[in-house]
Amino acid sequence: MNAYINSVIERVKKKYPEQPEFCQTVEEVLSSLEPVVERHPEYEKVDLLNRMVEPERMFTFRVVWQDDNGNWHTNTGYRCQFNGAIGPYKGGLRFQPNVNPSIMKFLGFEQTFKNSLTGLPIGGGKGGSDFDPTGKSDDEILRFCQSFMQALYRYIGPDVDVPAGDMGCGGREIGYLFGEYRRLKGVFENGVLTGKGFSYGGSLIRPEATGYGSVYYLENVLRDDGQDIKGKTIACAGFGNVTWGICKKATELGAKVVTLSGPDGYVYDPDGVNTPEKIAYLVTMRNSGRNKVQDYADKFGVEFFPGEKPWGVKVDICMPSAMQNDVHMEDAKKIAANHVRYYIEVANMPTTNEALRFLMDQDDIIVAPSKAVNAGGVATSALEMSQNSERLVWTEEEVDAQLRNIMNTIYKNSVDAAKRNGLGYNLVAGANIAGFERVADAMMQQGVF
């Protein structure tokens, strides 16, 4: 390993022993960059890598809200403005009890590379709160979102930082957040948030974009492997917005999603989550706030496996689409033993580094990294920003065509970057390198700070 890269990884690990997720992503990304860093000794001269692993700005704020019984609760809000070299900070807000500085920094770091890979002018950011939306009433969500925005509104803006949704933060929450921003600032700056409702500046296809984009990316992989998506079986995880989009697009293209998962276990539906009723039920389940996938098994009479993950199911394609570190070594071994050919990460960093290395080392498995596969979501957010600044509305066909085009370009740029650097067909390293190169170029041209 290149000595400079190694020193940065070691420094981060030593400095942040209490931030394991952040250390994990730094190690995964930087260890791909060896050929590029060796070709550019000037990077070390200006200490580019240590600058890249340090967020430009990160802050916490107090979020106080009242529940329906009149009791007050205090949560921590976060915004990590990781890297703004190529555009305003851009990235979602995650509302989940496990949100902490490590999760925020890992997501912000990944977002920086992902957003760069889209080729669009968006920097990397992430935010959220340790607030738990499970079981909260609509009024409680409203009060929480209003309080969250009362603290955040001074630090964001259409040319500054543009938050969006992430886990626990969907269209309803974005609506409440935007309403409060508008009330506080007295301006209709709808480019400040993405994932909005269509009536006030949201983009068509944005709700579907992450799932659709990941299937468009998958189509590229299959095509280069001489395969067709038609008839393929897919194991998904989660049952949120991303998995919903995958089910919709996979169904349209003749593939079948046969598993879903939740914190309570997984369901196996051998016929596929492929009827309008089943697909719509994913939205109902999410909106119920119960956070239980067993509801699907009860409703459609399929098998439910409490406390288990779907990675032992024999399928053609695995698409971990739930959360970080969902797939560990023991799961990876099951995937390899089942001769799953395509391991397509969808959630941010769904694989431990050890499991990812193991899967990449298998000759018969093709591995695609989340920062490329799920980039269609944030790319479509950038298209939403364009429509907002132009005061225009693009048709569904226009947005979908652009999304498909962006996903094809991301795939192609990743393949080319790996090849150019003598790494063969390596989609993981290719995405890291292509994402890095653009941010590195911009930082080099903007002087040292």
Q: From the centroid of its chain, how far is CA 229?
A: 23
Q: How far is the CB of 285 from ligand GLU (least distance, A)?
A: 20
Contact 76, 130 (CB under 8 A): yes
Cα–Cα distance measured from residue 6 to residue 312, given in angstroms and rounded to the nearest whole number: 35
Cα–Cα distance measured from residue 100 to residue 19, given in angstroms and rounded to the nearest whole number: 9
Contact 194, 385 (CB under 8 A): yes
Residues 6 or more apart in contact with residue 386 via CB below 8 angstroms: none
321 or 381: CB nearest ligand GLU: 381
222 or 376: CB nearest ligand GLU: 376
Q: How far is the CB of 94 from ligand GLU (least distance, A)?
A: 7
For 301, other C-beta atoms within 10 Å of its C-beta total: 7
Q: How far is the CB of 417 from ligand GLU (least distance, A)?
A: 20
33 — phi, psi (to 5°)?
A: -95, 5
Cα–Cα distance measured from residue 45 to residue 277, given in angstroms and rounded to the nearest whole number: 58
Do the strands 123-129 and 57-66 form a parallel or antiparallel pair, or are they unpaired? unpaired
201 or 377: CB nearest ligand GLU: 377
Out of 55, 377, 430, 435, the only residue in the binding site for ligand GLU (CB under 6 A) is 377
What count of residues does the chain have? Answer: 449
332 or 399: CB nearest ligand GLU: 399
Q: Contacts with ligand GLU: how many residues (CB under 6 A)?
A: 10
> What mask of x and - would describe binding to ligand GLU in positions 69 to 108, judged by CB under 6 A?
---------------------xxx----------------
Give the H or E element holding residue 164: strand 161-165
> What mask of x and - would describe binding to ligand GLU in positions 326 to 355, judged by CB under 6 A?
----------------------x-------
305 or 436: CB nearest ligand GLU: 436
Question: Is residue 230 annotated as part of the catalytic site, yes or no?
Answer: no
Q: Among 126, 136, 232, 309, which one carries the catalytic annotation?
A: 126
Cα–Cα distance measured from residue 162 to residue 194, given in angstroms and rounded to the nearest whole number: 7
Sheet with strand 57-66: strands edge to edge: 57-66, 72-83, 123-129, 89-95, 161-165
8 or 347: CB nearest ligand GLU: 347
Is residue 166 near ligand GLU by the rule CB under 6 A?
yes
Q: Cβ-closest residue to ligand GLU? A: 92
Is residue 164 near ligand GLU by the rule CB under 6 A?
yes
Question: Which tokens belong to 277?
Answer: 């009723």
Out of 118, 190, 194, 251, the only residue in the binding site for ligand GLU (CB under 6 A) is 194
Catalytic residues: 126
Q: Which residues bind ligand GLU (CB under 6 A)?
A: 90-92, 164, 166, 194, 348, 377-378, 381
